[in-house]
Amino acid sequence: MTQDFTPTEMMTIAAARALTNDDVCFVGIGAPSAACNVARLTHAPDITLIYESGTIGTKPDVLPLSIGDGELCDTALFTVSVPEMFRYWLQGGRITTGFLGGAQIDRFANLNTTVVGPYDTPKVRLPGGGGAPEIASNCGQIYITMALTNRGFVDHLDFITSMGHGEGGNHRARLGMKTKGPTRVITDLCIFEPDPATKELTVVSIHRGVTRGQIEENCGWPVRFAKETVETPVPTETELSVLRDINARTKRAHEAA
Amino acid sequence: MAKICTLSEAIEDNVRDGDTLAMEGFTHLIPYAAGHEIIRQGRKDLFLVRMTPDLIYDQLIGVGAARGMKFSWGGNPGVGSLHRFRDAVENQWPRPLAIEEHSHAAMANAYEAGAANLPFAVLRGYIGADLAKVNPNIKSITCPFTGEVLAAVPSIRPDVSIIHAQRADRQGNVLIEGITGVQKEAVLAARRSIVTVEEIVNELNPPSPNAVVLPHWAISAVVHVPGGAFPSYAHGYYPRSNAFYIAWDKIARDRESFTAWIKENVLAGKPEDFARHAVRHAANAA
């Protein structure tokens, strides 16, 4: 039994499914935050969610608007200072998974959230990296979730805010990184995973009702498909109702304050 | 020794034109009332330091009080752009803003190094990231023991740091609870410091011996400003006004509406105006 669902709901739920009970997950704001909390409220109740404000093991009832909403601290196992967060917990190698979003991504899952155009004379000045540069290098692996659009999935990034697989191949290892980097990119149309050798993002799973043509039209580089792609399982009723409930609670809470 | 005084005295005594100024609070406890007082006193040519510039520096940048800024994430959290910051970087309005951009990890390490009286911070950071190419203050250092190449950034040593906290006692000892961010490090790294507080009490009664207490002898001035962190929040006192953060997007989007908002709410305002935000929530909670 399934209901109708939107592409964004499919994206959030597919992203949530990437997480497991054993993950210690550094949560980016926005789409990643929704996915991580849906995972916690469905199949991964014991997952440890960490936000860069220093809140560790947090279980928010509504999704935070910022990474430091009081809700995160109120429901956390404990809260540490920001230097401790980045030094002991992230750089210390205690975090299995980082979940990031971004403004732009390239075929090797490098992310740009800094500028469009030249750095010194930008056409668009974006917020910048925040925690992302070190999340990308210090977490065991990285998941990325963002909608598949031509503006977001670009052939060339003006700026690499956080490194994914760099130029591809063993670039991370050449720079001395021991972590895996991006292992999955979940969009509203499909799921990409890096090719084991070249590290180029490759479509491995296509959401129901989406065509290869649609994926190609919305991506800024010539898309590679895996030899065998599968259809992403549609959302279950439980997954959909958990997602819709938390979104409704969140909307009420943010409008009230 | 902390002087317990009014906000206007604290800013007059401690914030000077041209200063390197850090106003910290990681989403929580952002010292908005102090930011407004700096605008009212017409301070200029400030070099601003803050991990997340947030609305407080969007306001200082928009009125032209800043010559430069060191930061690591310049957005309106969960909402979008800081429009005054963008206008300064993209169009040099109302004046050019020199930026020194870092990652959160580097800023946090740099504050900690400042508090520890060290000249620089070392971290395993910026690997494969382009910031290292555009910011000459991101350098590398080779570990003398293992040979590993690590990132190095200068420590942050503000002329003055300003934070907001929940409580102070009558000597000026300060208690901070909840998300403590880099506030302790920012105060200890600075030459001078101001702490605005929700309450001044006879006894701090920290909930645990490990709650963050800054002693009065490490602070220059303590000021009673209830509601002084609005529209951010004071844990245990009032929540973050996510509705105001959303509304700011429209206010700050164009120069005229921003300037009108500053005139009405900052230039014609006073520190006591913030108290209604704390009081209103107490009334709602009752």
Residue A182: in which H helix or E strand, if any? strand A182-186
Helices (H), B140-274: 183-189, 242-253, 255-262
How many whole angstroms from its chain centre is CA B34?
A: 10
Could you report the per-residue pLDDT of A208-257, keeping only the tens digit for each? 999 999 999 999 999 999 999 999 999 999 999 999 999 999 988 887 75
Measured between beta carbons, the chain A residues lying within 8 angstroms of B125 are 91, 133-134, 137
Percentage with pLDDT > 70 across chain B: 98
pLDDT of residue B145: 98
The minimal CB distance from A129 to the residues B72, B82, B241 is found for B72
- Determine the Cα–Cα distance for residues B247 and B240; give it in Å rounded to an integer: 13
Measured between beta carbons, the chain A residues lying within 8 angstroms of B113 are none
- Determine the Cα–Cα distance for residues B96 and B64; give it in Å rounded to an integer: 9
Could you report the per-residue pLDDT of B191-237, keeping only the tens digit for each? 999 999 999 999 998 888 888 899 999 999 999 999 999 999 999 99
pLDDT of residue A2: 52
Could you report the per-residue pLDDT of A35-53, keeping only the tens digit for each? 999 999 999 999 999 999 9
Q: How far is A155 from chain B (nearest CA, A)?
A: 17
Q: How far is B1 from chain A (nearest CA, A)?
A: 25
Which band of pLDDT confidence, cut at 50, 70 and 90, is reported for residue A29?
confident
Q: Which residue of B has its CA nearest to A137?
A: B127
Query: Among candidates B225, B272, B228, B268, which has minimal Cα distance to B40?
Result: B268
Q: Which residues of chain B have pLDDT under 50?
A: 286
Measured between beta carbons, the chain B residues lying within 8 angstroms of A65 are 77-79, 240, 242, 245-246
pLDDT of residue A31: 86
Say if residue B231 is preceded by a cis peptide, omega within 30 of 0: yes
Neighbouring CB atoms inside 10 A of A133's CB total 30
Which band of pLDDT confidence, cut at 50, 70 and 90, is reported for residue A3?
low
| pTM of the full structure | 0.96
